[in-house]
Amino acid sequence: MASVPFLSVSRSKLWLGLVLIMLCLGALAVEASSQGNHARTPLADGWQYRWGDSPISEGTPEWTQEQNDLDWLSIDFPSNPPFREGRNQVWYRYRLPEGQLPGQSLYIYSVDLIVEVYLESQLIYNYGSFGSDGTGKFEGWPWHLIDLPHNSAGKYLYFRIYSDHTDIGLWGEVMLGSEYAHLQYILREDLLPFLVGLVLIVCGIAMLLSNLISLRVPTLIMGVFLLNLGLIPISESQIKQVLIFNPVFWRFFEAGSYFFLPITMAGFVRALYGKGIWCAHQLVWIVHFIFFIAAMTLSTFGGVNLPHFYLYFDVLAFFTVLLLTVSLSLAALKGDTNQKILACGLWLLYLVMVYNGLTAHGILPFAPRSEYIGPLLLGATFIVVLVRHYTGLSRGLQRHSKQLEAINANLEQMVAERTTALETLNRSKDQFFAIIAHDLKSPIGAQLHLLQDYEQLKEGIPAKEVSMLRKESEKTYELLTRLLSWARGQQGQLNTNREMVSAADLVESILNSMQARATAKHIDLIFAPYDQPMVWADIEMLSTVIRNLTSNAIKFTPLGGWVRAEIQKVSGGTRFTFTDNGIGLPEETIDGLFLPKDYDSIRTDTDGQKGSGLGLLLCKEFIQAHKGSITADSPEAGGARISFTIPSREALEPSQ
C-alpha cells in the first residue's frame, strides 16, 4: 500500500513542474510578443576569414587595427574555411551596414567552439576562456545574443575562434535584429518541439510508473524509449537556455540522450521480437552501450572534448540503426499490421536521424529545429499502434463478454435442466423403491402369514402350498438379486468377468429355456443368427440381459404373436436385436424406458400384470458395464424393438 502515495506524489510533482514550465514559456512568449514583430536580417555577402591567431598588444589584437585587406580572404559563411590543414585558430570579420541598423543585437545559433567578438578593437563579447597560446576548452554549444554599441553602424565586427572540433567557426544562423525579435523567433520556432518533447517525456514517465509493480519488461523498455525520445527535442531546444543557462550541462545532457537513443531503440525491439536476424537487435544494443559508456566517461574524465564523439557516433549509427530497422522490417513482414506500422515509424526516425547528421556536418544546408520531427513521427506511430491495440482489446472484450453472457445463459439453462432432471430422477427413484418395497412386502408378508398359521395349527404344510412358497421365494430372491445388482451399478461397483463365448449358442440356449412360456401364449420364438460371432463378455450378465429382453417381449406380445432374436456383427462389436409384434412402445415413453418409474407409469402386460421396471434398468447397467449401448424404438409395422451392442475385445483394448 505504500507504493500508491508514492506514485500519487510523484505524479503531482510532475504535473506541477510541467505547469510551471508552461507558465514560464507563456510569460516569455507574451513578453516577446508585446514588443511587436521586429525584423531580423541575416549577415551575408561580405564575410572574410584569416587563418591563425592575432598577436595581442596591451590587450588589443593587432589584426583589428591593421588596414591591410590583402591578408583577409572572402567566404560565403563564416564556417570551415578551405585549407585548414590541422589548424585550430581562425579569425572572421564582417562590416556592419551603414546607417540605422535593424536592431542592436546579434544572434548566433552556435559557435565551434569558443569565441571573442570585437567591434573594431573593442572587446564586446566572449564565450569561453582563451589561454595565452590562443587555445581553450569546450564550453558547450549555446546560442549567443550579443548587444552591439549604438555607434556600430559601418564598423567591422571581428570574431576570434578556437576549435579542435571537425567544424570551426560560426554555425547555423547569424542574424541582426532586436533582442525581442530574436526571442520571438526562438519561442516561435522551438515551442512546438519543446512541447513534443514534454508530451513524450510525460508518456514515458507515466508508462514507467504504471509498470513499477507489474514489471513487464517490454512496457518498461518502451517507457524508457519514449522518455529518451522526449529528451532529444528538449535538449536540442533553444528554450532550455532561457530556463536554465548551463551550456556544458545541456551539451552533456543532449549528447547523452542522443548517444543513448540506439540503445533504447534496440532494447525495445529486442524485448518485442527477440535477438533478430544475425542477432542484430542484441548486437546494436551492446555496441552502442559500449560507445555510450566510453564517450561519456572519456569526455568527463579523460580529457577528450565531447564534440569529437559526434562524428563517430553518426557514422556508427548510420549502419547500426539501419541494420536494426531492416531486421525489424523483416520481422514485421511476417507479423501483424501493428508491427508493420511500428517498422514504418522506425524508418521515419532513421531517415530524420540521417538528415540531421548530414546537416550537422555541413553536408546539407542548415535547417533549424528538425531533430524533433523523428520522435514526433515515431510517437505518432506509437499512438496509432496503441489506438489500434486498444480498439482490438475493446472489441475482443465486447466479443468475449457476449460469449461469456451466452455461456452463462447456457450454464444457467443446463443447471436448471439438470436440477429438474435430478429432482425428477430422485422422485422417480423414491417411487421406484416404493414399488420395490411393495413387491417385496407382498410375497414376504404372505409367506409370513402362512408360516404363522401352520405354526398355530401345528400341522405340516401341504405339498401344493410348499411348491407355491418355493415359487414365491424364488421370485423374491430374483427380485432382490436384481435390486442389489442395479444398486451396485449405480455405485460403480459392477465388475465384469469376461470370457470369449459364442453369441449364437448363448441366445439359442436361453430361447430354448423360455420356449415353454412362449408356447403357453402360442408365441413363436424366432432366432435369426446372421453371423456366428464370438463375444468377449460376462456370461452371467449377458445371459441376464438376453433373458430379460426375451421375457419382456413375451409379456407384451398377445396370444399368437411372435418374438424374433437376431445377431449381427457390426463395426467394433456385435449387435443383438429383439423384436416383437406386441403392444409396442408409445413414443413419449421411449426416452424414459431405461429410467426408474413411478407405479402409475409402469405399463401393464398382456396378462394384466405390472412388473417393477427393474429388468430394463438392470439391462442398461449390464450393457454399460461392458462399455456398450442399448436403444429402443417402435417399428412402423408395430410392436417393439430393443437392440444392444457389445464391443469387441479389439475395440476395447486400446482404450484400456
Say if 16 falls within a structural domain. Answer: no
Asked whether residue 624 falls in the same domain as residue 534, the answer is yes
> pLDDT tens digit string along 362-397?
778 766 656 667 777 877 787 787 777 767 777 877
Asked whether residue 472 falls in the same domain as residue 500, the answer is no
Cβ atoms of 146 and 94 within 8 Å: the answer is no
Cβ atoms of 262 and 281 within 8 Å: the answer is no
Asked whether residue 584 falls in the same domain as residue 512, the answer is yes
- Three-state secondary-structure class, residue 626: coil
Asked whether residue 603 falls in the same domain as residue 553, the answer is yes
> pLDDT tens digit string along 129-149?
999 899 998 888 899 999 999
Average pLDDT over residues 507-527: 91
In the chain, the percentage of residues whose pLDDT exceeds 90 is 27
C-alpha cell at 548: 430379460
What's 448's domain CATH number?
1.10.287
Asked whether residue 44 falls in the same domain as residue 109, the answer is yes
Asked whether residue 480 falls in the same domain as residue 499, the answer is no
Domain end residue (candidates: 468, 493, 518): 493
Q: Is the peptide bond before 113 cis (omega within 30 degrees of 0)?
A: yes
Asked whether residue 504 falls in the same domain as residue 447, the answer is no
Cβ atoms of 178 and 318 within 8 Å: the answer is no
To the nearest whole number, what is the mean pLDDT of the chain?
81
Asked whether residue 623 falls in the same domain as residue 590, the answer is yes
Asked whether residue 457 falls in the same domain as residue 365, the answer is no
CA-nearest of 175, 174, 240, 192 to 38 is: 175
Which residue range(s) make up the domain with 526?
Answer: 494-655
Asked whether residue 629 falls in the same domain as residue 498, the answer is yes
Say if 216 falls within a structural domain. Answer: no
Say if 207 falls within a structural domain. Answer: no
Say if 591 falls within a structural domain. Answer: yes
Average pLDDT over residues 32-54: 78
In the chain, the percentage of residues whose pLDDT exceeds 70 is 79
Helix, strand, coil % (nearest 5) of the chain? 55, 15, 25
Say if 166 falls within a structural domain. Answer: yes
Domain end residue (candidates: 142, 177, 212): 177
Say if 90 falls within a structural domain. Answer: yes
Q: How many other C-beta atoms lie within 10 A of the C-beta of residue 224?
A: 17
Average pLDDT over residues 399-425: 80
Domain end residue (candidates: 325, 343, 371): 371
> Which H or E run includes 87?
none
What's 145's domain CATH number?
2.60.120.260
State the pLDDT at residue 630: 92
For CA atoms 276, 281, 284, 290, the dihedral sign is negative
State the pLDDT at residue 425: 60
Comparison of pLDDT for 37 and 273, the residue scoring more: 273
At residue 409 the predicted structure's pLDDT band, cuts being 50, 70 and 90, is confident
Asked whether residue 510 falls in the same domain as residue 485, the answer is no
What's 553's domain CATH number?
3.30.565.10
Asked whether residue 499 falls in the same domain as residue 609, the answer is yes
Say if 532 falls within a structural domain. Answer: yes
> pLDDT tens digit string along 82-104?
999 999 999 999 999 888 887 88
State the pLDDT at residue 611: 63
Q: What single string gives the DSSP state of each residue in 23-79?
A: HHHHHHHHHHHHT----EEE--S-EEEEES---EETTEEGGGT----TT-EEESSSB
Residue 493 has pLDDT above 60, yes or no: no
State the pLDDT at residue 429: 61
State the pLDDT at residue 511: 93
Question: In b/e form, how buried is each residue of 43-61, taking b as 16+ CB within 10 angstroms?
Answer: beeebbbbbebbeeeeebb
Count of domains forming the chain: 4
pTM beyond 0.75: the answer is no
> pLDDT tens digit string along 437-485?
555 555 666 666 666 666 666 566 666 666 666 666 666 666 666 565 5
Separation CA 328–CA 348 (nearest Å): 13
Say if 395 falls within a structural domain. Answer: no
CA-nearest of 548, 555, 563, 537 to 606 is: 555
